[in-house]
Structure 1
Amino acid sequence: MPKRLTGTATPAPSLRILSHAASALTLLGLCTLSLPGWAAGFIDDSRANLTLRNYYLDRDYKDDGAKTAAREWAQGFILNMESGFTEGPIGFGLDVRGLLGVQLDSSPERSGTELLPVSARDGRAADEYSRLAPSAKLRFAQTTLKAGDVSIFLPFAFASPSRLLPQTFRGVTLSAKDIEGLTLNTGYIDRINRRDSTNYQAMAIASPNRRFNGAATTSHLAYVGGDYQFSNNLSLRAYHAEVAELYQQDSLAALHTLPLGKGVLTSDLRSFFSREHGSARAGTVDNRNLSALFAYHLGGHTLSLGYMHASGDTATPYISGTELMGMSELTMSSDFLNAKERTWQAIYDYDFSAAGVPGLKSRLRYVRGDNIELAAFAADDRKEREFQMELGYTLQSGPLKNLALLARKSIYRNDFPSGAAFRDENQTRFIVLYTLPIW
């Protein structure tokens, strides 16, 4: 648990950010000094920026649970520094990320939004939490190898972007683009740094509603797969991932665009096939998840309709702290990945640039799941639904150009038994995001 800011001897958050920056710059400088003959590309192609993220999250529970709300407000600072690569057939580089989250408002009665770390002893959120995360990298032709603190945005483990600070991993990743149109990815991950944590932890299977043995951990995640741009209108994706001693998962996807009338029709097909791996510490895993989302784009309007079907004896597994790139990604109050669940959704997006207001966008989304089986509660044929509203605006000019404002609202209801992970709630989020280039 990070130390709380008390007294006058503890550095202020602004000084902590400067400390992170100085440490990172020192690392970059040491690498440059050690490679005087090759340093041109390392320095010339380097870049750095500071992202400021102000985040308010309010869960107003509407059931009979003991906790009536989870409500917190926090400020995040994300310092990203990326070097170029040294000259020569094999180039070396270094990326450094400094992360700081500062509490603006919280209390033990309202903590638990995952914006801030929370003490298990008294339920109090930390006043601040921070970490420095370096990553070494190597490039050969169009192949890049990274080791250290890494981010992965892949179907089976999508690093969650939905809280104050980014969620990252510790491991080694390789991405190769030497074949035109094809991107190959492989990696070995042994720890996860959650979005509300400062330290690396062993990975576990997500287990809302007691789907699996969520206490079981894995030594590593290994994966291989790729994306292929078959044509201008068709891209294909295939991956295999093994979460050692917990589960393994194969994913296939296809994205197709087709000009139709005055607009464009896109078809997004995704599938996940999951089963136990090794000693199956998390318990039985048996799931097939198939989904299709069709969207028609005309001017500033986009209307999307989708369906997702889960079969097998269990829910769809994914790594705790991440998101699965299924049809229900970016829902706010539930994951819609329960056993046997059948999910429908409708989305209406409007880009106001078509009406002469660039930077302003809106979304209405309705998601409904039924036929849900909750084995841990001996319950079946249950239902859930979520209605989302979003409005976002990005400044297009002036001294605060690219300042982004986002408001999100969801209304979620279900008929799950008492004690289930997902509760009836009205949820509100306000986010202010601004990225300041440093060099």
Structure 2
Amino acid sequence: MKTRNAAFLMLALSTPLMAAPSSPFFTDSGASILLHNYYFDRDYKDPYNPALKQELREWAQGVTFDFKSGYTEGPVGFGLDLHSMTGLKLDSSPDRAGTQLLPLDSKGRAEDNFTTFGGVAKARFAQTKLNTGRMVLTLPVAYSSPGRLLPQTFQGTTLQSQDIQDLTLMAGYLDRIKFRDSSNYENIRVTPQNGRFIDADSSGFSYLGGKYQVAPNFNASYYHATLNDIYRQDYLWLVHDLPIGPGSLKTDFRWVRSGEDGAANGGKVDNDNLGVVFRYSLGGHTFSTGYMALYGDTAQPYMGRSEPSPTVEGAIATDFLNAKERTWQVRWDYNFAVQGIPGLTAMLWHMRGDNIELPERMGGSGLYERESQAQVAYVIQSGALQGLGIKVRHAWYRNDFTQAATFRDNNDLRVNIVYSWKLW
């Protein structure tokens, strides 16, 4: 596999030398710079445990350069994508470092800066594309989280085909992951939060899936994924839009079935996650309510230091994926464009999970957790700073777990300023 990847990469790297300046390799190329300023402030509410940090607070600047080429001419076109990601420390101290905005040195201090480089060699035949290298992915089963300064990136090979109308087929194999606060690629693991699974390495992650546009207002997705020697997973996602009265109702249903693959975690993975969210949009308002229930003997597994994609996607202090957990949510979103202020949005969101089952040292059974969020965001619509986005989000998280649990009571404040500059 590594030999094939290396040969493919060498071929793609040579294509710019073979392509004429008028080739789509050049004419369809583009480059941009993304600036991401991030302030993170988490205040823990457990002063009874002085051995743990009571606050995490850092400020950092991210700079991402992204180049995407077109494809060379011919039945099979070749191309090359490149990126660099840099994080710069603006404010930190050893007593409040550890927000995952910046990597830590051996003494627990945030590094002044860190940089990572990546690239993808790509080929296209008709509407089928093959990519190999280091990339950002936004799939339900392999997701590069935008929740910190820089996203995770994966190393591997992916295939996507849209040769059949209304159907997108996908497959991939990933063997390494770079965490969002690191410059190094590591083996992929399962998330060990709350003692759910043993923190064991895997030799790789593979997936196969498809998305089908059943009707103009209805699409269905299915994925099968395996984290070698740890878990296998089936993911079904159905989304339906239906006009009702003066507004529209969106139904979002997700089912995730997880089982063991090998014995790296004692051969114990058994979980079904069923969740549904109803969103009714009317004017500038969107009202949402949903319910998610986990069944089986274990929590739902997912790749460590990545993010899952349940119906509470977007929770920032927890994941609501503990064994036996039942979660209710209510949410309100408002778009001020209907008031003549385009680009301004607001959100209020409350989630509560109960019936949680954890190891005895973390509280046992019958536990609960809850998270509330308030958010205001604005994107400048015109002028020299058009596209500049500012988002302020505050979250409050509480549970009745013991001190040994991963998730702790906290108040969380995040301020994000994002600006993308298209070079060409």
TM-score scaled to structure 2, two decimals?
0.95
Cα pair 1:244 1:277 within 8 Å, conserved: yes
| Counterparts of 2:266 and 2:348, CA distance in 1 | 36
Runs of 4+ with >3 A deviation: 27-33, 36-39, 280-283
Establish whether residue 409 from structure 1 lines up as the match of residue 394 from structure 2. Answer: yes
Q: Could you tell which deviates more after superposition, 148-157 or 275-284?
A: 275-284
Give the letter aligned to residue 327 of structure 1.
Answer: T
Q: Cα–Cα, structure 1 residues 29 and 337, in superposed 2: closer, same or farther, change >3 Å?
A: closer
Which residue is equivalent to 2:411?
A: 426
Give the superposition deviation at 1:36.
3.4
Cα pair 1:209 1:376 within 8 Å, conserved: no
| Counterparts of 1:29 and 1:256, CA distance in 2 | 40
Give the letter aligned to residue 203 of structure 1.
Answer: I
Structure 2, unpaired ranges of 5+:
1-9
Which residue is equivalent to 1:309?
A: 293
C-alpha distance after superposition, 1:95-146 (max 9, x if no partner): 0001100000111110111000112x31101100001111100001001100
Q: Cα–Cα, structure 1 residues 282 and 178, in superposed 2: closer, same or farther, change >3 Å?
A: farther
Which residue is equivalent to 1:258?
A: 242
Establish whether residue 47 from structure 1 lines up as the match of residue 34 from structure 2. Answer: no
C-alpha distance after superposition, 1:43-85 (max 9, x if no partner): 0000000000000001100113331101100000010000000
Cα pair 1:210 1:376 within 8 Å, conserved: no
Q: 1:72 aligns with which of 58, 67, 77?
A: 58
Aligned partner of residue 186 in structure 2, secondary structure: coil
C-alpha distance after superposition, 1:320-363 (max 9, x if no partner): 01111111211111111100000000010000001110000010
Cα pair 1:213 1:283 within 8 Å, conserved: no
Give the letter aligned to residue 259 of structure 1.
Answer: P
Establish whether residue 99 from structure 1 lines up as the match of residue 85 from structure 2. Answer: yes
Structure 1, unpaired ranges of 5+:
1-26
Which residue is equivalent to 1:123?
A: 108
Give the letter aligned to residue 365 of structure 1.
Answer: W
| Counterparts of 1:200 and 1:288, CA distance in 2 | 31
Establish whether residue 139 from structure 1 lines up as the match of residue 87 from structure 2. Answer: no
| Counterparts of 1:363 and 1:194, CA distance in 2 | 29
CA-based RMSD:
1.6
Establish whether residue 321 from structure 1 lines up as the match of residue 305 from structure 2. Answer: yes
Cα pair 2:175 2:204 within 8 Å, conserved: yes
Q: Could you tell which deviates more after superposition, 186-195 or 144-153?
A: 144-153
Give the superposition deviation at 1:279.
2.7
C-alpha distance after superposition, 1:295-339 (max 9, x if no partner): 100010000000000010100100001111111211111111100
Establish whether residue 275 from structure 1 lines up as the match of residue 264 from structure 2. Answer: no
C-alpha distance after superposition, 1:216-251 (max 9, x if no partner): 110110110110000011100111001100100001
Give the superposition deviation at 1:283.
4.6
Cα pair 2:33 2:66 within 8 Å, conserved: yes
Cα pair 1:259 1:265 within 8 Å, conserved: yes
| Counterparts of 1:269 and 1:91, CA distance in 2 | 38
Establish whether residue 84 from structure 1 lines up as the match of residue 70 from structure 2. Answer: yes
Q: Cα–Cα, structure 1 residues 294 and 271, in superposed 2: closer, same or farther, change >3 Å?
A: same
Q: Cα–Cα, structure 1 residues 411 and 91, in superposed 2: closer, same or farther, change >3 Å?
A: same
Give the letter aligned to residue 42 of structure 1.
Answer: F
TM-score scaled to structure 1, two decimals?
0.91
Aligned residues: 411
Which residue is equivalent to 1:5?
A: none
Q: 1:61 aligns with which of 7, 32, 44?
A: 44
C-alpha distance after superposition, 1:156-208 (max 9, x if no partner): 22211111012110000001000111010100000001111101100000011
Q: Cα–Cα, structure 1 residues 123 and 373, in superposed 2: closer, same or farther, change >3 Å?
A: same
Give the letter aligned to residue 140 of structure 1.
Answer: F
Aligned partner of residue 419 in structure 2, secondary structure: strand
Aligned partner of residue 297 in structure 1, secondary structure: strand
Which residue is equivalent to 1:287?
A: 271
Which residue is equivalent to 1:175?
A: 160
| Counterparts of 1:256 and 1:132, CA distance in 2 | 39
